């Protein structure tokens, strides 16, 4: 069986990444423009956390099993049908969650780090290079460490995670 590249999906996910990146950058720029150091740090942590959460969802869907969700769907349990759809489209769900949202959050948190560095420099006499290295290192460490921690959790709890996500997404499903 040959693997064919789905160029339509690649185009859609590329456009989706572009749009999400613009929206999230616009949001973070507007919010970070006139905030204090504490709020800038908090917003950066939120972007890091959002990236970790979406990475967890992407990994959980990739490692999930459809059987339980077929059963839920047959018994008309909320989220069953959505869970089946998610698990039948693991490549796309993983791409959107891990690559699009997760990577965009990583980029935005890095950009937010620049704001944090400039705020720290304005408030202190600490060397700019030192502040930049520490902030960048912390953002990278929290992102990578959080995602590493989340992957094991996602694999071990994939059914529970997919169930929660499916139930949340089923709220937006209109044709029941």
Q: What is the pLDDT of residues 25-42, one digit of tens each?
A: 888 888 888 889 999 999
The pLDDT value given to residue 172: 85
This prediction's pTM: 0.86
The residue range of the domain holding 139 is 7-165
Residue at token pair 């749009």: 19
Alpha carbon distance 37, 124 (integer Å) = 12
Number of domains in the chain: 1
The pLDDT value given to residue 2: 53
In a domain, 65, yes or no: yes
In a domain, 175, yes or no: no
Alpha carbon distance 81, 98 (integer Å) = 22
DSSP-derived secondary structure letter, 4? P
How many other C-beta atoms lie within 10 A of the C-beta of residue 44?
24
């Amino acid at each position: 069986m040959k693997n064919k590249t789905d160029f339509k999906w690649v185009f859609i996910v590329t456009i989706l990444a572009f749009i999400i990146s613009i929206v999230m950058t616009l949001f973070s720029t507007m919010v970070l423009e006139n905030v204090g150091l504490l709020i800038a740090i908090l917003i950066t942590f939120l972007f890091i956390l959002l990236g970790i959460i979406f990475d967890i969802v992407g990994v959980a869907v990739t490692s999930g099993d459809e059987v339980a969700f077929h059963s839920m769907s047959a018994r008309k349990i909320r989220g069953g049908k959505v869970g089946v759809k998610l698990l039948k489209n693991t490549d796309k769900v993983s791409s959107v969650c891990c690559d699009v949202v997760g990577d965009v959050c990583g980029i935005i948190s890095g950009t937010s780090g620049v704001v944090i560095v400039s705020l720290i420099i304005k408030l202190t006499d600490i060397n700019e290079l030192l502040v930049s290295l520490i902030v960048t290192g912390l953002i990278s460490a929290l992102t990578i460490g959080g995602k590493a921690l989340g992957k094991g959790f996602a694999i071990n709890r994939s059914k529970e995670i997919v169930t929660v996500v499916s139930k949340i997404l089923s709220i937006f499903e209109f044709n029941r």
